[in-house]
Chain A
Amino acid sequence: MTDKTNTNTNDNLLLDIRDLTIQYVTDSGTVHAVENLNLRLGRGETLGFVGETGAGKTTTALGIMRLIPSPPGVVRSGKIIFEGEDLLEKSEAEMRAVRGGKIAMIFQDPMTSLNPVMTVDKQIAEMIKLHKNVGEAESLKLAGDMLELVGIQRERMRDYPHQFSGGMKQRVVIAIALACDPGLLIADEPTTALDVTIQAQVLELMKELKRQFDASMLLITHDLGIVADICDKVAIMYAGRVVEYADKRALYTSPLHPYTIGLFNSVPDLDEDKEALNTIPGLMPDPMDLPSGCAFHPRCTHATEECSKSKPPMVEAGPGHFVSCPVRAGLKAQGGE
């Protein structure tokens, strides 16, 4: 990504990840979870972060929070610039003020994200006390307000997590995340563990609250339908790298990277009465032993000899539409698409 053409002017830029590389060093080998990842998020934007399981989405999110479990996780290189400051340079104490206060995270599984032996009001109040200068009673009152905001009756604030359903637990988690009005909300597959009707409700709530709190959001998902519904921008991740980054509209109308196209084709389409889904041939590469060059080349129908040799750079194929596939970007530039 080059600065001159990016639609975000610098003061509109909230999060700018540059060349982030995160590995897990284990006994059986080094997992290249995130490799030279670049990502930008403007103020007020919602960025959809899409990729198959194991692509490194959660790792990226934990990297931003500086919560990569270590060992085995190691941040090898890169910068995570948030509001103009590199989070990787911050001390642990400075980071604690960022976590929850400026960047809040919603985790994948609401069933296990709440402390089972603490009432939910205390869990929300804990967040409030950490970042706002209020006493115990006031924090509990605010916690009750937050619960009402996410659609849970105040009377239930003294309940324990096991007394709530999955969808309600996720609402509690959302209440915790938004309690201190964070500038950035990272939601890691917030609805994957919920059943479909509840998914829609929770997403609607998040959409509404994001607007109300004027927060930016990094929404991790592998559901392109959710992305279409909520996001402004989309980043497609494959084997630890962002392979395509664009406005939602541009990405949905003219996806460029062969992997992105494969993803779209594998979404079931009700209008077309096809027998089988078009799945992408081959499997996700072993993250301990990534293919040389473009990690996608063994599964790619467009692959040339060059693809297996050098890592493809991100090129801007259209305004604000970046793709790391020289073959396809070239085609587009020649008007071949």
Chain B
Amino acid sequence: MIRYILRRILFLIPVLIGVAFCVFTLLYLTPGDPARMILGDMATENAIKEFRAKEGLDKPFLLQFGNYIYKAITQGDIGRSYITKRPVMNEIMATFPATLKLAAFAIVIAVVVGLPCGILSAIKQYSVFDTLAMIFAMIGLSMPVFWLGLLLILLFSVHLRWLPPSGFDTFKAMILPSLALSAQSISMITRMTRSSMLEVVRADYIRTARSKGQKESVVIWVHALHNALIPVVTLCGLQFGHLLAGAILTESIFAVPGVGRLMVESIKMRDYPVVQGGVLFVAVAFSVVNLLVDLLYAYIDPRIKAQYR
């Protein structure tokens, strides 16, 4: 198991370098001289030259890239913002907690709502509850997050005045963004749990459990659920990754000061180092979450665990 984890972490490195390379190339090719951007229009030619030499900006492309990676790994230094002149890492670290909180809230809501709905739908297949749940799941899946967000603001902030329309500092302010962000995940988890449950309930080992004289509740909640959860866990993990990476729209609508909004603002102001750092950071977060999901997967499915050597 340990070897598997180490191998997975090793595999992460080329992936991340690949991502970094793509982002770095894009940045390199975009017009505009970083030195001039950082030092400002008033800087003298000499100062710029000096800065370029100091930062290695006069070196060939590959060398610059190598330098970027080296600094990223050894010092966690992934450049400086053109605008604030602060290290990109600081900018991201200042905004990441909000994004993490938002994604975590959303995934918790999605699991807490989606899992029971899916199970109930499967147990009471074709019932009124099942039909309603499937209709809502359909709506939730097809409704774009920005539209749902606006509708939520209209209803809960403008009309009912229950919840603030923006910000992320209080618990109350966190409700609407998390809800909007979780809608798609709720729907997907509900549908996946339902179909997985329906499949498992027909399995032979469920019949075996019943033939032992086991109570139907134990058959469902112990035998069926554990097996049905295996694909759902993967989905939840993937969803969490998506929520982390995909909170951009939600953060913009609700003015949540997260990484997503930081990136949107940086794009608007052509603050490329921040964009680059943001993308890299999201890629890392996504990969780490995926790794955790795979480990969890091995934990709940002994067949997978056997392969992890």
Summarize B's interface: helix, strand, loop or mixed: helix
Q: Could you tell me the distance between the alpha carbons of A109 and B203 in the complex, rounded to whole angstroms?
A: 11
The stretch from A97-105, A279-287, A323-331 touching chain B is A97-105
**What's the Cα separation between A96 and B217 when bound, in Å?**
13
A window 180-201: CB within 8 A of B: none
Q: How many residues of A contact B (CB 8 A)?
A: 30
A131, B214: Cα distance in complex, Å = 10
CB distance A65 to B205 under 8 Å? no
B207: which A residues are within 8 A, CB to CB? Answer: 67, 107, 113
Which residue of A67, A96, A114, A118 is within 8 Å of B215 (Cβ)?
A: A96
CA A98 to CA B211, docked complex, whole Å: 9
B306:A131 contact, CB within 8 angstroms: no
When C-beta atoms are compared, the residue in chain B nearest to A62 turns out to be B207
Assembled-state Cα–Cα distance A173/B213 (Å): 15
Kindly list chain A residues whose C-beta atoms are within 8 Å of the C-beta of B294.
none
Q: Bound state CA distance, A166 and B208, in angstroms?
A: 16
B226 interface residue per 8 A CB criterion:
yes
A202 on the B face (CB < 8 A): no
Residues of B205-227 whose CB lies within 8 A of A: 205, 207-215, 223, 226-227
Whether B303 sits at the interface, judged by CB under 8 Å, is yes
Residue A116 is within 8 A (CB to CB) of chain B in the complex: yes
Interface pair A130/B204, CB less than 8 Å apart: no
Complex formed: what's the CA distance from A334 to B306 in Å?
68
A114 touching B212 in the complex, CB below 8 Å, given contacts A160-B303, A162-B303: no
Q: Mask for A163-184, Cβ within 8 A of B = 1, else 0?
A: 1000000000100100000000
Q: Of A96, A107, A112, A163, which contacts B214 at CB under 8 A?
A: A96
**Chain B hits for A69, CB < 8 A:** 202
Give the Cβ gap from A180 to chain B, nearest Cβ, in Å.
9
Contacts of A310 in B (CB 8 A): none
Inside 8 A of A114's CB, which chain B residues have their CB?
205, 208
Q: Does B300 contact A (CB under 8 A)?
A: yes
Decide: B212 and A127 in contact? CB cutoff 8 A.
yes
| Assembled-state Cα–Cα distance A98/B306 (Å) | 37
Task: Kindly list 16 other residue pairs between chains A and B, CB separation below 8 angstroms, not including A100-B211, A117-B226, A117-B300.
Answer: A97-B213, A109-B204, A114-B205, A115-B205, A115-B208, A115-B227, A116-B227, A117-B227, A117-B230, A117-B301, A118-B223, A118-B226, A160-B302, A160-B306, A163-B306, A176-B208
